[in-house]
Structure 1
Amino acid sequence: MSGLREGRWVCTYCGAECRGRDESCAGLDGGSGCGAARQPGVRFYLPGRNPYLTDPGLIADARSGADWHCDHCGGANKGAVGAHPVRACAHCGNPRDLSDQETPTRDFAPGSAPSSAEALRPARPDRRASPGSERTSALRPRRRIALICAALLAGLFLAWSVLFAAYPAPMAVTGLSWERTLTVEAYRTVQEEGWDAPSDARVHDRDRRVRSWREVLDRMETRTRQVSDRVQVGSESYGCGIRDLGNGYFQDITCTRPVYQTRMRTETYQEPIYRREPVYDTWLSWEVDRWVPARTERSAGTTPDRAWPEPDLAENERAGARTERLAVDLGSGEDRLQDRVVPDPVWTAAVRDRELIVTRDWWGRVRDVTVVGP
């Protein structure tokens, strides 16, 4: 197969479709055209139904080189007839010189060559559309999506505002309670152990123990494994495009690419074998004098007067950490709040008969208890 096919062109004077081989308008039957010379700028196209050339004369014509245009009359001329280059314009007889331009050749990717005269015409803008209407129509879906997203966000914000909004309401104080805790610490000798003793410790025992493990290279072992290699076993030809030869004919472009196969082979390698070895260190046992919690003293009440426990401290004891818990009872009936823990300023305000504000959420859960006013 030659890989060559004949294209077509359209006469700029009468609009007739012509065979690619013709330098003058002759129509597809070779005699029905207006006879006008093919002018510069005329482009060729290749109908998909055109078969490959088998006629030796047409094959030779396709391989005669690109056409050239006479700079005197503009007519198209073949590059050569047979083995003889064309030296003068067939339309006006003007000799060919360097100012006569050849028809350029063009390469197309597979399936992208023009296949009709319509494909060669530039797209005409829609005069019915106003300037910028295409942009406006393209933006409409985006605006619609933006409006939908804005509406969804507004709905979510509204729902969040309703569900998580605060609903404050005043409530009267109906009860008070307090509890204070004091930790009593004693200075005692305690037994401890570990890898590192404090500076004031009195070490009385040492023992060698495993503190950690480490990986140590023991040996190398020879092993085998299957690996795959991509091996080139040849090459293949494939159609990678089509070329407009500039003379009314088109030729398939053939490219070559390598062909690979995956082949398996056995590979020998050295694998390191490790063993675990213990890392020893000295484990210490010691005694040290420290302040440690000995007992807890508590005091509680339901009156405004609060007092810390006053324990009897021995010679080796001292007062340690202090904690306090303050609570109030609010309201009555179903909305009553019992033993609600509050900070000291709120409890103090409750002692002074100040009305408290209870803030609840949409589900009725208490979020905060505050004092009315300054």
Structure 2
Amino acid sequence: MAKRTRIIEGTWNCTSCDTRAILARHRSCPHCNNPREETGKESEFDFGEVDAVSGKSLREGVTDAKALSAAAAGADWFCDYCGASNRGDTPICRNCRAKRSATSRALAEEPDEPIGAPHPPPAPFAARGSGRKWLYVGLGLLACFGTCMYWGSRTHGVTGQVTTTEWTRTVHRETFQRVTREGWRNELSSTLPRMPVNGMGEVAGVENIRNCFPRQRGTRQVADGTERVCKTKTRQVKCGTTEKCKRKKMGNGYMKEVCEDVPKYCSKRYEDCDTRTRYRSEPVFDLSCTYDTYAWKEVDRRVESGRDSAPRWPELRPGSLDRLLREEKYAVRIDYEDSGAKEHVYEPKSESEFLSWKRGQSVPLQVNNFGSVNILAGNAVR
């Protein structure tokens, strides 16, 4: 594809009189006659904005013959004696007539930018400040969270006192008795029951299977023809051309721009269809039957509790087909002072541990700033 070349002229700002946007063709300020130098950023040229899509400069290209000649002269060089800028193809300083030496500095030419990759315009100060503000907010919240967690995990020691010990014991009496159940016929097999001895060794058994009738047990998927299923998708297709440009700064206040037409692609929607098997749900029936079996059922319970005393089990006598189930719960209440009167309830796991606690006993505690309490036992906590 044909390439189109333009020369774009940059502008500079005079640091002596603050005249701005001076065309690069002027090597001295038109207002104060100050020669353009390398110092003070006078040789940092502004080439204006570019189109965000094509990368093409929004400035008009240079058509003046003298300006085109200056652009083709090569990178500017700066006099060692007076610092003035000079055309790259002149050996003598235009300002003080000194000869160009091997040590004379020159502006560097920049490498070509890739087609379609223009320099983005600088972000507005407000936008940059806004992003920075939210960064600072996030960092601040993170710092506050870290500080809060550190403060909350700090611990200090206090001494508590046992005010009371409490216990509750429950005995459940269950009996192995005949019950009626329902089940699927193919899962039932007649089995004689066996009664428990001392609450163990029982077999529930299955007896007197009866009253069997069809009942829905579930569903199954059955093929029911075919159906056409379509999904809307998108793909990239060529839809003409678009202009893309690349630029190269020439080191003398001019920029070379090369533009060409490249393929343009657009998103096109299309239907992706497929023929699939269609299914329907059908009920599945099976025989459901009533049968007799045996199961443990609670028929009685006894509860006993106390404070500051040794725990004991309630009296409950089992029958020949009974069993006893026991459960126990213990609590030790500890009062302590920590910015006011507070209470910590500790639950021992066994009778022996519960009996080691006595009313009036002093207890060393470890409390953190969030209010979590641990009991110190030697070098360990519980």
TM-score normalised to structure 2 length:
0.48
Higher relative contact order (Cα pairs below 8 Å, separated by 6+ residues): 2
Tell me which structure has the larger Cα radius of gyration: 1
TM-score normalised to structure 1 length:
0.49
